[in-house]
Structure 1
Amino acid sequence: MADYKAPLRDMRFVLNEVFEAEKLWASLAGTKETVDVETAEAILEEAGKIASTLLDPINRSGDEEGCHFDDGVVTTPKGFPEAYRTFIEGGWCGLGGNPELGGMGMPKMIGAQVEEMVQSANISFGLYPMLTAGAALAINAHATDELKEKYLPNMYSGVWAGAMDLTEPHSGTDLGIIKTKAVPNDDGSYTVTGTKIFITGGDHDLSDNVIHLVLAKLPDAPAGPRGISLFLVPKILVNEDGSLADRNNVSVGSIEHKMGIKASATCVMNFDGAQGWLVGELNKGLACMFTMMNYERLAVGIQGLSASERSYQNAVEYANDRIQGRAATGPANPDKAADPIIVHPDVRRMLLTIKAYNEGGRAFSSYVARWLDIAKFSDNTEEKAHADAMVALLTPVVKAFLTDRGLESCVMGQQVFGGHGFIREWGQEQLVRDVRIAQIYEGTNGIQALDLMGRKVVANNGKFYELFAKEVTEFVEANSANAALTEFTAPLAKAIERLSDVTEHVIKASAQSPEEIGAASVDYLDLFGFTAFTYMWAKMAKVALENVEGDTEGFYATKIKTARFFVNRLLPKSLALAEAIKTGSADMMALSAEEF
């Protein structure tokens, strides 16, 4: 496997040139005093070093060894505790945290780039700080000041970790039927009893404590999702002075033996009358949890991008080294017995596809992070409402489209290796195994598609969608006089028109049959994703065209060539998606259950 190299040049391009992040940060009340380009550059440079020198070297060994479970105790693979200590000494767990309680207060646009580097180097390791950051986000947004002051400083420092506990053996997507109970106590705390499964980082030996955010219901709670509350339940209770007290009634029943991310502890958690504290309002637990989940779903999308970037780096190195056959135009390397396989069109097709998805995905994840930053840091009510709507619309797309493309890219990278891609020592098969979960957790991609099509589009008659379509259309119109950009804006104009037409079609069809939503949803999300990537590529091409003259490093020229590949070879997939959606639900629902 190639040594991981952080794509810092492309990250700077996206942040500074495409999205002009410094202008954004200077305009937001919550960031104008805390971050600038120099700060961002220093953070990204250091994160790149941490990823390549600290986390990459223990990636494969962590996969080979996996986590251990012995007599109720969970331990991580060799090297993980030491790496974690070094990681938290750098303050990385508190990167986006509340600065009043020990966090750094950095915007998500920076955090997204850091997450990409960490996950590219070591997905299993990256899950531990990712869950801690997410739990801290929910606590900071919804908990009482007392709970925030008691727990967040140690979570931002990484001394304590976080986990979120939603799923139960009988309750996955349908959280309304959870059985975990919370009974109020006289002292204001609650007694929490139940079992949760698939809990990432539920327990481990990296931190002194694990702070669980647990969904549960009071005995008299309303039925369904309206009766769910959120509780903070520490593994070890905390004294008034902040020191650790006795072990709470929280235990690990087992850890899962998984296809991938084997160095990430995935636990069955038992709460046997554990003491917990309410976060937010009673029966409003899902709303509290979704504060975190919008960020987490972006982070999972970035996992798909991260694995794809690593696949690309491995496959490019191999394609330049492996010699097989001759170029169609004649020997490219006549002094050797054969040419490197990168001369062959099919190998180039795979590499260019991965490259186009990666760079489009990096821009799109940054675009979604930008909206999260505006929603969080702006003091303009109208601007925040617009950003909240865009976050709601785009979150399922960034989660599902990036992880679907992530698996696709890891398999293509494996294919470049041929038989060696199937062998463990080359690392490609680990990427395929590790990235597969990203399509499943934080809400399966099918659920993301239903959320997009049903809740975010049909339910509001396309109101959120119109914000995105208007932005894209305005970009096309603003650049209509730019002849050099027409090869990118013309396909974009057709793409957004196609997506708008399909959106209107499904909204109308769903009024006649509710099954139209589910029948269209997955293809619609993909169609949306290809359109959004086309928008990203047009924005990147615009900047590249403005800077290509005098480009001695060749960065901008390469960017333009990759943009052409995307719009000419990958965007046409959207034509088939649109046609499939318009066929409706009849064929999909025609068979009886017995006919399957």
Structure 2
Amino acid sequence: LTEPHCGTDLGLLRTKAEPLPDGSYKITGNKIFISAGEHDFTANIVHLVLARLPDAPKGSKGISLFVVPKFMVNADGSLGERNPVFCTALEHKMGIHGNATCAISLDGAVGTMVGEPNKGLAAMFVMMNAARLGVGNQSLGLTEVAFQNALAYAKDRLQMRSLSGKKAKDKEADPIIVHPDVRKMLLTARAYADGGRALQVFCALLLDKAHHHPDEKVRKESDELVALLTPIVKAFITDNGFAATNACMQVFGGHGYIKEWGMEQFVRDARINLIYEGTNTVQSLDLLGRKVLGDQGAVLKKLGKLIGQLVQEEGVNEQMAEFINPIAILGEQMTKFTTEIGFKGFQNPDEVGAAAVDYLRVAGHLVFGYMFARMAQVALRQIAAGSQDPFYTAKLQTARFYFAKLFPEIYSLMRTARAGSKVLMETDAVLA
């Protein structure tokens, strides 16, 4: 997709595809940021390339998709002549150093069209949406591994005494896990990992239903919910992952900033996830502008219905009150919040751009809150049935931390979202 002058705005794409007599195409242009664009792990590399036909309309409606192999493939499946698609440079990145990210030159490389002419962007987004779910999973993995390392270190590292009195009386200092703020950093990572994992599993179940459920209505609604949740998976989990890896690096103190412990690598590797496969601002604009306001909140209401069913089911259960009440209140506020931003955006589209990032995080907390409430529901039922598995106790403790310390972010986010675009756009003196 990406070219030196053209990242998110694919309408500016310049790579050209010229028809050949045999029905294939000669493709010429330059691409950048191509992950694993060149390597020797496989005998062949097959590129999916966006390019323009000679008579293509301008903008994003004039883009076609092509398969371009490194080596041409003969009729019997054997590899043929080298196709002129070459790596011209490697990008020197902040992180993910194990993946060669390449600048690619196509010098009349032979390609085969995928799908219909000028419909390449729609075809590419099938892959792109899967990649966005994958990027969320990438950050989830980094959150989990950073948490596990930080937890082990916090149990072992001795520094100072507990504020409430000595805990390790046989040692010269207490392990840092006794300090409240160290626990806050660890629990932040644990909560973001647990919430992200639950959301990813939920999306996987929806995808199975979208593809395989016998009821067409269930397939359609599942597909709609996945589409709504995809920008939340990509942006919310990756924002949280970067915050979590930073917090876990902080647990290590000065040792976290040097390479030998490996924590700084998790931070560097997590940072790219906020950028690629569509920056998190793009995800926010997609969620608010296209997925919510684009259909007058129809699919958002379906999500709200799911949450409402849980609220109705557990609303009179005192043990569930601390988990149910926050999402019930936010669920009620969400309609007014969305309508207000939509009305302001109708008058001035910049209002949507100004509110979108904050809006996505509010939506992310609503979804995470629903996930934690469901996890708490299961944990309470298992404990009531006699289970002594600490797994369920840990779920309850994590859920309590999440609702007490992380979920309340929604109130500042709704306030800043409502602050509007004026304080951003009428700033020429500052940004002169």
- Residue from 376, 379, 391 that aligns with 1:544: 379
The partner residue of 1:177 within 12, 25, 30 is 12
Report the counterpart of residue 114 of structure 1 in structure 2: none
Conserved 8 A contact 1:360-1:533: yes
Q: Provide the residue aligned with 1:94 in structure 2.
A: none
Aligned to 2:421: 585
Matched, 1:482 2:332: no
Measure how far apart 1:462 and its partner are: 1.4
Task: Kindly state the Cα deviation for residue 479 of structure 1 after the two structures are TM-superposed.
Answer: 2.2
Give the 3 Å change call, closer, same or farther, for CA 379–245 of structure 1 in structure 2: farther
Partner of 1:528: 363
Match 1:502 to one of 337, 357, 366: 337
Moved more, 453-462 or 572-581: 453-462
The corresponding residue for 2:393 is: 557
Contact 1:249 1:272 in 2 (8 A): yes
* Counterpart Cα distance in 2 of 1:352 and 1:289: 38
Quick one: structure 1 residues 184 and 458, their matched pair in 2 at CA, closer, same or farther if it must change by over 3 Å? same
**Which residue is equivalent to 1:404?**
239
Correspondence for 1:566 among 392, 402, 405? 402
Contact 1:551/1:557 (8 A) holds in 2: no
The equivalent of 1:347 in structure 2 is 182
- Structure-to-structure mapping, 1:406-485, within 5 angstroms: 406-485=241-320
Deviation at 1:244, TM superposition (A): 0.9
1:261-281 residue CA offsets vs partner (Å, 9 max, x unmatched): 011010011111111111111
Letter in 1 for 2:409: K
Distance 2:232 2:81 in 1: 43
| Aligned twin of 1:113 | none
Local SS of the residue matching 1:437: helix
Tell whether 2:68 aligns with 1:229.
Answer: no
- Report the TM-score when normalising by structure 2: 0.97
Q: Distance in 1 between matches of 2:222 and 2:162?
A: 50
Structure 2 residue 350 is matched with structure 1 residue 515: yes
Determine the C-alpha separation between the residues in 2 that align with 1:576 and 1:421.
Answer: 30
Please state if 1:319 is matched with 2:154: yes
Deviation at 1:590, TM superposition (A): 1.7
The CA deviation at 1:238 is: 0.5
Cα distance in 2, alignment partners of residues 361 and 594 from structure 1 = 38
* Partner SS for 2:195: helix
Q: Take 2:347 and 2:400, find their aligned partners in 1: how far apart are those partners?
A: 40
| Cα distance in 1 for residues equivalent to 2:129 and 2:101 | 21
Query: What aligned pairs does 1:375-390 form with structure 2 within 5 A after superposition?
Result: 375-390=210-225
Aligned to 1:369: 204
Residues in 2 aligned to 1:478 and 1:226: alpha-carbon distance in whole angstroms: 47
2:108 corresponds to 1:276: no
**Corresponding residue for residue 188 of structure 1:** 23
Distance in 2 between residues matched to 1:272 and 1:432, nearest whole Å: 37
**Contact in 2 for aligned 1:232/1:277 (Cα 8 Å):** yes
Matched, 1:391 2:226: yes
Deviations 1:319-340 (A, max 9, x none): 0000011112211111110010
Measured in 2, the distance between the counterparts of 1:383 and 1:282 equals 32
Partner amino acid, structure 1, of 2:410? S
Partner of 2:40: 205
Q: CA RMSD in A?
A: 1.2
Amino acid of the residue matched to residue 555 of structure 1? F
C-alpha deviation, 1:247, in angstroms: 0.9
Instruction: Assess, with a 3 A threshold, how the Cα gap between structure 1 residues 593 and 171 changes in structure 2: closer, same or farther.
Output: farther
TM-score normalised per structure 1: 0.71
User: Partner amino acid for 1:557?
Assistant: T
TM-superposition CA deviations, 1:270-310 (whole Å, max 9, x none): 11111111111111111111111111101001111111111
Cα drift, residue 456 of structure 1: 1.1
Give 1:168's aligned residue. Answer: 3
What corresponds to 1:43 in structure 2?
A: none
Deviation for aligned residue 1:594: 6.1
Q: 1:336 aligns with which of 151, 163, 171?
A: 171
Shift of 1:552: 2.9
Query: Matched residues, percent identical?
Result: 50
CA offset at residue 379 of structure 1?
A: 4.2
CA contact (8 A) 1:502 1:581 kept: no
CA distance in 1, matches of 2:211, 2:33: 29
Aligned length: 431
Unpaired runs of at least 5, structure 1 = 1-165
How far residue 501 of structure 1 moved from its aligned partner, in angstroms, is 2.1
How far apart are the structure 2 equivalents of 1:494 and 1:369? 27
